[in-house]
Each structure stands twice: as C-alpha cells, then as structure tokens.
A = this chain, B = another copy of it.
Amino acid sequence: MIDAPRSRYQQVADLIREAIQRGDYAPGSALPSQPTLAGKYGINQTSIGKAIALLRREGLVRVIKGKGAYVREIPPISRYAVTRYAEAVRESGTARGAFDAEMAQRGHESRTELVQWGETVAPQVASDALDLTAGAKVAIRKRHMHADDVPVQIATSYVPWELAKGTAIAEQDTGSGGTYSRLAEAGHTVERFTETIRSRMPTPEEADFLRLDEDQPVYDVLHTAWTAEGRAVEICVHVMPTTQWVLHYEWPAS
C-alpha cells in the first residue's frame, strides 16, 4: 500500500514545520506574511494558505484573523493520569497541586485561576455521573489553567452538596490535601479513579478562553473518584485542546 505522493503545499508545510522545530521561527513569534512565504518557497499564495491551514490543524500555528499566523508557544504537554494525583497529594496541600507539579516537571510556569466555587445546581454531566436527581445541588470548582501564561485547560469539579456542605470543599481554599482529603475525613475515602475520554468541538466559551476556532477539537476527559462501596463522590471535567496534550495511562496486566 503506497501513500499518494505529497503535493507541493504538503512539501512546503513539511519545510515550515521543520523550520519551526529547528527554532528558525521561535515559539510565539509571527510567521512571515503569506506573500513573503510564497516568494521564499516558490509557490503561489493559495498553496501557502493550504500549507498554513495544515499546520493550524496540527496545532503548530495559530491563525489570528487580520493579523496572521503565529507559532505555538507551548509544545504538547504530557498528562500522566495515574501518577498526577499521587504527585498532587505528595507535593502540595492544595487542590491545584496536580497541574502545578505537571507543569514544573516540564519547565513551565503554571497559573491557575479559580473562576467559580461554592454551591450550584448540578449540570447534567454531574447529576448523571454522581447519580443525583435532576436539580440537585453540588459544590463546583471551576479552574482556568495556564502554562507560561498560555491558556491550556479548563477543569471543573463537582461534589454532591450533601458531602461538601460545611467542609472546605465548598470554600475557595480546600485546605491541606484538597478535596480528596476532606472527603476521606468525612468517611468517603476515594479508592478508585476512572477516566472517560471523548473528543468534541469546543463550546463558544471554551473556544474563547482556549483561543481555539470552532473547528478545533478538545479532549473532554471525565474523571470520576469512587469509594470502596462503588459510590461516585467527585467528578472533574477536563477540557484541553487535542493538539496541546498527550494523555498517558498505565495498569498492571492481570
């Protein structure tokens, strides 16, 4: 089975990709204009446009209307699901510890903005996953996460209000060890995690924060924390541009 020969615009996309990887075009910098690139690579502007579109789909450049194409600031980030929660508990007393540890290991400055917390009506994803009746209350924690000031993730966690009320889970600062420690203190020790991964297009709000176009997909990772009794006591929905993240899992062969 032989792949079709690469067309001219794909070959030019290869050259620009290599130039970016070599650092000829630095992270965050503007690519030369399309007429300049057309002259440099000896193809017409339509083909340059197709090459840029291809690199944009790969997440290697970001196209800003009326301004041009910019090189991605942050290379793909690895998320090790199994170890990240352990690290969070070990290295930090706050609920945002997992992301901080992840970024520090990869040499990025992390910044997490808690944009919503406290009591709210459960959205459907939460009432379904936490087995709550429609209209039930939950504690929400919604975070906007940045790597070197680039928005890279929206994470929103939900805990049934009956478990969260009166504890630091409902507060701005969840305290030492974060939500899972507060749940354990209340007798709801988390024994098992599950994650379900979907890809979908971003909502307008997600696209706005994550600087995506409506046709650039995100991972929608539903993280669920279970007790030994099989009760789901917390979920977290992680929304991440698919071209910005690589997801890792591991488990023993039984």
Contacts and interface: CB of A to CB of B under 8 A. Distances in A.
Interface of A: 1, 3-4, 57-58, 76, 81-82, 85-86, 180, 190-201, 203-205, 215, 217, 219, 225, 242-243, 246-254
A205 B58 contact: no
Contact of A205 (B3, B194, B247): B3
Contact of A251 (B196, B204, B246, B251): B251
Given A204-B4, A205-B3, A217-B199, A194 B58 contact: no
A50 B199 CA distance: 20
Nearest to A196: B248
Contacts of A250: 192-195, 251
Contacts of A254: 86
A190 B253 contact: yes
Contacts of A198: 76, 246
A55 to B, nearest CB: 11
Nearest to A85: B253
